[in-house]
Chains A and B, each alone.
Chain A
Amino acid sequence: MGNKQTIFTDEQLDAYQDCTFFTRKEILRLHGRYHELAPHLVPMDYTNDPDVKVPLALIVNMPELKENPFRNRIVESFSEDGQGNLSFNDFVDMFSVLSEMAPRELKAIYAFKIYDFNVDNYICKEDLEKTLNKLTKEELTPEEVNLVCEKAIEEADLDGDNKLSFADFENMISRAPDFLSTFHIRI
């Protein structure tokens, strides 16, 4: 491999390495994937930090996200504008948090954001119903959905306000042994 890559400066690669859980090679590979999403939009040369955002519709077509019922929420939670348009920074950030090296606390923070559909910093009953419907492809009966949501809130809600704050959510996640392995996307 004789060609020295000119996609990023060394300084930028160091910055990415320090801010994410990826190595240099993985960051370059991620840039390749990002470029594939919108070849006419994403420049190959990132040395001067271009301000390019790939729209939501293109990102959710990635094979890793295509079949995920929460793909829209995931991409929206990592975008700076909240609409799902990811710059390369956000793109790398997203896969860094979803990688296997990210710690439990960090993943819990973003998982909470993802499941909070109406972005009010609480997971209320409507958020839970939406989550459940996405999980089961809306094949549960409405009574079952209602019952499950009530039971879930009853189990996790510690302060009795009928919705889950981040503290309740994190408390519940800390008791889940599988959380780290399920909240994980390989790229």
Chain B
Amino acid sequence: MELREFNDVVHPPPDYPSPDVSQHSLRLRTVAAPAPAQQSSGVQFDWASPPPEDAEDSSETRNLRELPLHMSLKRAVRQVQQMRVPVVSSSWNIKHSQTFRRFCEVAKNILSYFVLWKRGIQRIGGHFGGGVQSYFLFLRFLVILNFLSSLLIAAFVLIPSIVFRSLNFNSTSNITIVNTTGLETCMQYDPKPDALMVFFNYFLDLVSGTGFMEYSYLFYGYYNNTMIESDGFSYNIPLAYLLTAAFYFLFCFFCIIIRMGGTARVVVETGAGAAGGYCMLVFTGWDHGLQGDRAVKLKQNNVRYRLQVDLEEERLKKKAASLTLGQTVSLYALRIFLNLIVLTLIVATFFGIAKATQFSQSMKTTGFTGLLLQYLPSMVITASNFVVPLLCDKIALLEKYSPSTTVILALLRAVFLRLVSLGVLLYTLWEQITCKGEIGSDDCKLCGYYYNQYKCWETRVGQEMYKLTLFDFLITVATLILVEFPRRIVVDHCSCKLSQLVGRQEFLVAPNVLALVYSQTVVWTGALFCPLLPFINTLKFVIFYYCKKITLFQNCQPATRNFRSTTSNFFFLLVLLFGWMLASVVLLYSVAKIHPSYGCGPFRLDPTMWDAVPQAVNMLSTTSRAFLFYIGSQKCSIPLFIFSCILLCYVSALTSVHGKSVALLKSQCALEQRDKQFLIRQIEELNATMQKAEHEPKLLNTENEPFQHTAATQWNQHNNYAFDPDEDPRPY
């Protein structure tokens, strides 16, 4: 509708009045236009036009803002709207809706003050473009997610534990009837530190989560398996612990899905637009919000580079299509060989991580070497995450893929490396704790886990995750101080060839985002065993934001390579989801399969962590119990499952229908254009023949009439399928 109106504005029809005056709403009325080539200044208003049939106040204001007219004309339209005498009964309605609208706008304005880091991220986007801004938006999303999760955990687990412990409530242990004879060795767990401590040991303990840190609210082992009861108020701590962990996971899952949904909608609407590369680049490649001489120059270089890369890709494609059979075969053989090398590298990394984990878990040295040994798995993971992608990039140069494929492949390899290396670490831990899964073996027979080495295995796992988080933080800050700042100083002040070659740091978005995904996955994995980890992660990410912002503005130059921010947002959320799935596998397995430690934690005397839930359910009243059993039974769950499958099919069918209708509308657009061209040609021919006929003597006038008539009929026949009914069918 707006498009047609704009066409009316830009190409106003010559002297003919619009045929269906009364049905047009009061938006735009083009009466007379002096010349078709003039712009919208030729628009005038029909003040006598009748009011629109359905007057919605808010939609009118919205449409007023969206009119492509000059401001003075818009104000004139607004005056007309306001001069219109409202119907008596709805005048209160109109004023009411107007004040309500104003209130909403003011409220939205105030709420925007509470958006975290709004100005900072806008500034970053202005100077460095959409790609870098998307990294910071992702970081902000993770900060808010972690903050809300830490509030959740604090409210339901931490604060009740602190309160009950300090107030010494009457607490009863959950299990009273368990045969604990013969299990006394399993229940030995004494992590209480010495009263007197050297500062160095204090620091070591802080950094590795042992000593005084181990028996504290930080780790699983400190929480009690008690149920607090006083004056009809009861609080089941083990149940709260378990359910909070479950809700935390579900909450994160829903947040990610909702955010993905928003991004996915844009992707579907625009048809995953990789099509139309050149015109898209020319018309939407320039970021008008850029300021600053340097940023603009870099953006111009960026656009030029992208155009040249696209042209290069075309050339390569043409060349690839023209390769002989022998050359194609040798190229594919080379690619397979190089992929095998990459695979070998990655497998070697996994092997190294497994060995390092086993070694560090079995060593018990103290002091500085002990600290280094404890951090060995973290160091190996970080080193491999740095070195292996670098090698893969060098190998990718030989593979001769097109530039866009190279970028995607590098991303996929990096993601695979990061997530699976964490998985290998966890697998190695599991092997050690459960004696490679064989509960019946000697070491694990008595307690169900390797009690000699792991008196409280959950705390140990929590400590590993804590160390990974801390090490990641230390490495990032150290890289900042020791690598990026000196690099900038060297490049700026030393004009030797090496510094020109290396150049200023580029802020590469993909590796940074993958680092965030990795940190978040570690936090999710460790949250069950180290409840304060989300809070620590919030602080860590907040510090990251400020550090990255400082390094961005001081040390970096904008990326010279392409980065399509919208589709990549979706990709990063997808990778985050994979991390979540990995963490949830760990959660489910630890809750359901491994025997909790006897000596520590809120589940000490239960066969599995999950058992807290059936016990709690048994204490409910009969009706609630019956209700819960009904929900869990097959009578309810199978129909529910079928229903959700049907819903899924419906939604996917809807998506495909939308896609098809978008394609249909596009082809209809194209068809309309071609019809218009055809008709214009016909008109020109008609005009030419008419002019020729006029030059002939007037005696032939009578013969011309029927000729005109048939031409007009022909015109009307075309009218039926080319134009919409309310468009002006007169000659252009």
Q: Residues of A at under 8 Å CB distance from B? A: 15, 17-21, 23, 25, 63-64, 66-70, 74, 78, 80, 82, 89-90, 92-93, 96, 98, 102-103, 105-106, 109-111, 115, 119-121, 128, 131-132, 135-137, 139-140, 144, 147-148, 151-153, 155-156, 158-161, 165-179, 181-186
Give chain B residues whose Cβ lies under 8 Å from the Cβ of A135.
282, 285-286, 300, 303-304
C-alpha gap A46/B74 in the complex (Å): 18
Inter-subunit contact A140/B673 (CB<8 Å): no
Give B residues with C-beta under 8 Å from A.
2-3, 6-7, 10-11, 37, 39, 41, 61, 64-66, 68, 70-72, 74-75, 78, 105-106, 109, 122, 125-126, 130, 266-267, 269-271, 273, 275-280, 282-293, 295-297, 300, 303-304, 307-308, 311, 564-567, 666, 669-670, 672-674, 676-677
Contacting B70 at CB < 8 Å: which of A68, A80, A153?
A80
Contacting residue for A109 out of B6, B37, B288, B677, CB 8 A: B6
Q: Does B126 contact A186, Cβ atoms closer than 8 Å?
A: yes
Pull 27 A–B residue pairs with CB atoms less than 8 Å apart, ordered by A: A18-B64, A19-B65, A67-B292, A67-B295, A93-B71, A105-B2, A106-B68, A109-B68, A110-B68, A121-B10, A135-B282, A135-B300, A140-B308, A155-B278, A156-B276, A159-B674, A160-B677, A171-B669, A172-B276, A175-B273, A176-B270, A177-B267, A177-B270, A178-B566, A182-B287, A183-B284, A186-B126
Chain B residues in 8 Å Cβ range of A161: 677
Task: Report A62 CB to chain B, min CB distance, Å.
Answer: 10
Q: By the criterion CB–CB under 8 Å, are A92 and B291 in contact?
A: no
- Tell me, in angstroms, the Cα distance from A57 to B568 when the chains sit together: 40
Asked whether B673 lies within 8 Å of A90 as measured between CB atoms, the reply is no
A186 to B174, CA, bound (A): 61
Q: Are B105 and A166 in contact (CB-based, < 8 A)?
A: no
Is A136 a contact of B300 with CB atoms below 8 Å? yes
**Bound: A152/B11 CA distance, A:** 25
Considering the complex, give the chain B residue whose CB is closest to the CB of A88: B71
Contact A139 B304 (CB under 8 A): yes
Neighbouring A residues of B11 by C-beta, 8 Å: 121
* Nearest CB of B to A143, in Å: 10
Known A-B contacts A121-B10, A155-B278, A170-B3; A19 and B78 likewise in contact (beta carbons under 8 Å): yes
Picked from B37, B78, B296, B300, the residue with its CB within 8 Å of the CB of A120 is B37
Tell me, rounded to whole Å, the shortest Cβ–Cβ distance linking A48 to chain B. Answer: 15
B671 to A, closest residue via Cβ: A158
B286–A182 CB distance below 8 A: yes
Which one of B7, B39, B71, B273 lies within 8 Å of A90 (CB-CB)?
B71
Task: Assess the B75–A167 pair: CB atoms within 8 A.
Answer: no
CB-defined contacts of A144 to chain B, threshold 8 Å = 307-308, 311
Complex CA gap A15/B64 in Å reads 11
**B-side contacts of A159, CB under 8 Å:** 670, 673-674, 676-677
Question: 10 shortest A-B CB distances, which residue pairs?
Answer: A159-B673, A89-B71, A152-B279, A177-B566, A67-B296, A136-B304, A158-B670, A175-B273, A19-B74, A156-B279
Q: Determine if A181 and B130 form an interchain contact, defined as CB atoms under 8 angstroms apart.
A: yes
CA distance A92 to B659 in the complex (A): 38
Task: State in angstroms the CA–CA spacing of A113 and B309 once bound together.
Answer: 29
- Per a CB cutoff under 8 Å, which of A93, A137, A139, A182 touches B284? A182
B39: chain A residues within 8 A (beta carbon): 82, 119
B567 neighbours in A (Cβ, 8 Å): 177
Which residues in B have their C-beta under 8 angstroms from that of A165?
A: 673
Q: Is the CB of B61 within 8 A of A176?
A: no
Q: Taking the nearest CB of chain A, how far is it from the CB of B475, in angstroms?
A: 32
Cβ distance B98 to chain A, nearest Cβ, rounded Å: 9
Q: Name the contact of A80 in the complex, choosing from B72, B300, B666, B673 (C-beta under 8 A).
A: B72
Which of B65, B303, B566 is the one whose CB lies under 8 Å from A18?
A: B65
